[in-house]
Structure 1
Amino acid sequence: MTEKKKDVLRETDEEARALARKLVRAARYAAIAVIDAETGHPNASRVLTGTDIDGVPVILISALAPHMAALRADPRASLLFGEVGKGDPLAHARITLKCEAREIARDGEDHARIRRRFVTRHPKSKLYVDFPDFAFFRLEPVSASLNGGFGRAYAMTADDLVISSPASEALARIEESAVAHMNSDHKEAADLYARAYGKSKKEGWVIIGLDAAGIDLANGDEIMRIDLPEVISSGDGLRQALSDFLQRAREIT
């Protein structure tokens, strides 16, 4: 009698989804693997990353980079997210995304939105973002493998990672002004969010992004992702969601 092989994968739950989203949306960079256009061999490199309004990873690369030609020839790619810390590097959480890359045309609304969000996250990229040989790509997830540490492996779908909300389009139009308003008229909000929900003891946090599922904060080179309790379902709901979230942060701290 053949013994049934034990399934090493855990059932994907909301805790796993939250960890996966945090690994992707709080990242400043990732390792990318593409298929070399000339040899067919895997080609790995490091890229700066951001996210689009729906949580899809985006990258900015130069035509001088071999992965530009690779993605144009074959859009299949993988991204590896996850920071290492003290001790065994394999004990720290990481996630691999299998993606389909889509190049973003310069003359569309998608490019303007992605450019704004990316430069806000990576201010130094403003020096070269408009060079003619640079291009943005959306790395649209097909599936993912999350390793949350020893004995915590999960198989994930695109739906586990991408923000699905009818409010995303409306939020994309108001995000820039909403971020500016929060950082100028409610300067204390970012520090309160970071302290209450991210357990940060630092001061000087600023909001760098808003979407239907949460808030992106930055403090120097550190980025923090804070998820809202519920996904916003309409553009009109952003103000109330941020206000309620801030009030709760004050109560916690």
Structure 2
Amino acid sequence: MSGCCARRRPGQLRFFPSWLPRPKQCHTGAVWSRRALIVANPPRSNHIVTGKSHPHNCNGRAMPPDTTQPTGPDLQADPAAAARHIMRTALKGSLATLDQETGHPYASLVLTATESDGAPVLLISRLARHTRNLHGDARTSLLLDATNGLGDPLAGGRLTLLGEARPSSSPTALERFLARHPSAQAYAGFGDFSVYQVSIAGAHFVGGFGKIVDLTPAQLLIAVADALPLLTAAGDVIAHMNSDHSEAVALYATELAGARPGPWRLSGIDPEGLDLQLGEQAVRIAFAERVLTPEQARSALIALVQQARAVRDGGASG
């Protein structure tokens, strides 16, 4: 596309036209939007993010503590969409396996990511007890939740996936996991670590008190067979956006998902949306329509940044 950014890696895809301004760089190396630099009287909320250090602006001053939470699908209007949202934004979960010595359920904490279709993937060691349990019986249950920061966690959404966890042969599973958890690079190459995929047989979604529904795999996983061009280019799309358009990525999170300001990064893209991450927080941005090719992704990303700017400028003028 003519007029696109010239600064890119060899073979890297072009996405944004030249009118998209470069991000402002702080002396700390962080990228901040105007909204990130000036935060006055943030809205009060009981969904307070705790246990995280506060970012600093370009003047070295600590930013006010975050009091906002990202938005997501309506739990009552579309529980399947809310469940998929939890799957895409969860960074960790509780994996239950059957203990091979006693037969008791054995629950353990695991880091989670998803394949392009939404199937959960785990990077686990064969030395771990839960992995030994899976070798004896692949049946498992994976609990994912969206209750962080809630005054009453039982009022929040959570999803229990039932299925089997087996070693994955997918060529993209490890790449997508590491994009989600960069720190896992430190041990991903160890011989005892492998990627496992949870094949979903069913699910139980609780969106709060009295909001309970069972879901099928078809309601949780998306079709990706027709999106091979996009999936093949996904790594380049992500790298390009994070290196050349970090301001746009931050705008997606803050203006379209209502997330806290900061140096957000793109960690995944699939036919139905974007996965964004900042430290321990992840958000999901849905596309207006399915995206199947890099060209369609470019158009969708430009449309989203225009939408985000309109939201920001409308809020500033109001």
Normalised TM-score (structure 1): 0.87
Map 1:105-120 onto structure 2 (within 5 A).
Answer: 105=169, 110-111=170-171, 113-120=172-179
Structure 1 unaligned segments of length 5 or more: list them: 1-11
Taking only aligned residues, the RMSD between alpha carbons, in angstroms, comes to 1.9
Q: Residues 202 and 173 of structure 1: is their aligned pair in 2 closer, same or farther, counting only changes over 3 Å?
A: same
Counterpart AA for 2:159: I
Q: Residues 157 and 174 of structure 1: is their aligned pair in 2 closer, same or farther, counting only changes over 3 Å?
A: same
Deviations, residues 108-138 of structure 1 (Å, cap 9, x unaligned):
xx24x21111112111111111111111101
Cα contact 2:76–2:207 (8 A) shared by 1:
no
Structure 2 unaligned segments of length 5 or more: list them: 1-74, 313-318
Q: How many residues align?
A: 237
Write the distance in 1 (CA, Å) between the matches of 2:304 and 2:218. Answer: 25
State, as a whole percentage, how many aligned pairs show the same letter: 39
Map 1:220-239 onto structure 2 (within 5 A).
Answer: 220-234=279-293, 236-239=295-298
1:41 to 100, 104, 114: 104
Normalised TM-score (structure 2): 0.70
Secondary structure at the counterpart of residue 241 of structure 1: helix
Which residue of the partner structure matches residue 158 of structure 2? 94
Write the distance in 1 (CA, Å) between the matches of 2:231 and 2:103. Answer: 38
Residue 78 (structure 1) aligned with residue 137 (structure 2): no
Write the distance in 1 (CA, Å) between the matches of 2:236 and 2:223. Answer: 22
Cα contact 2:139–2:163 (8 A) shared by 1:
yes
2:123 to 26, 45, 60: 60
Secondary structure at the counterpart of residue 199 of structure 1: coil
Write the distance in 2 (CA, Å) between the matches of 1:34 and 1:171. Answer: 35
- 1:40 Cα deviation (Å)? 2.3
Counterpart AA for 2:151: G
Write the distance in 2 (CA, Å) between the matches of 1:78 and 1:72. Answer: 15
Cα contact 2:246–2:263 (8 A) shared by 1:
no
- 1:139 Cα deviation (Å)? 0.6
Q: Residues 200 and 84 of structure 1: is their aligned pair in 2 closer, same or farther, counting only changes over 3 Å?
A: closer
Q: Which has the larger radius of gyration?
A: 2
Secondary structure at the counterpart of residue 251 of structure 2: helix
Which residue of the partner structure matches residue 32 of structure 1? 95
- 1:181 Cα deviation (Å)? 1.2
- 1:86 Cα deviation (Å)? 3.6
- 1:52 Cα deviation (Å)? 0.9
Write the distance in 2 (CA, Å) between the matches of 1:87 and 1:14. Answer: 23
Which residue of the partner structure matches residue 212 of structure 1? 271
Q: Residues 241 and 167 of structure 1: is their aligned pair in 2 closer, same or farther, counting only changes over 3 Å?
A: farther
- 1:37 Cα deviation (Å)? 2.5
- 1:156 Cα deviation (Å)? 0.6
Deviations, residues 158-187 of structure 1 (Å, cap 9, x unaligned):
111112133443322111100111122222
Which residue of the partner structure matches residue 20 of structure 2? none
Counterpart AA for 2:85: K
Write the distance in 2 (CA, Å) between the matches of 1:42 and 1:212. Answer: 36
Cα contact 1:166–1:233 (8 A) shared by 2:
no
Which residue of the partner structure matches residue 303 of structure 2? 244
Secondary structure at the counterpart of residue 163 of structure 1: coil
Counterpart AA for 1:240: S
Secondary structure at the counterpart of residue 17 of structure 1: helix
Write the distance in 2 (CA, Å) between the matches of 1:247 and 1:166. Answer: 29
2:202 to 138, 143, 159: 143
Identify the structure with the greater strand proportion: 1
Cα contact 1:29–1:47 (8 A) shared by 2:
yes
Write the distance in 2 (CA, Å) between the matches of 1:54 and 1:97. Answer: 15
Secondary structure at the counterpart of residue 195 of structure 1: helix
Counterpart AA for 2:310: E
Deviations, residues 51-81 of structure 1 (Å, cap 9, x unaligned):
1111111001111211112212222111101
- 1:28 Cα deviation (Å)? 1.0
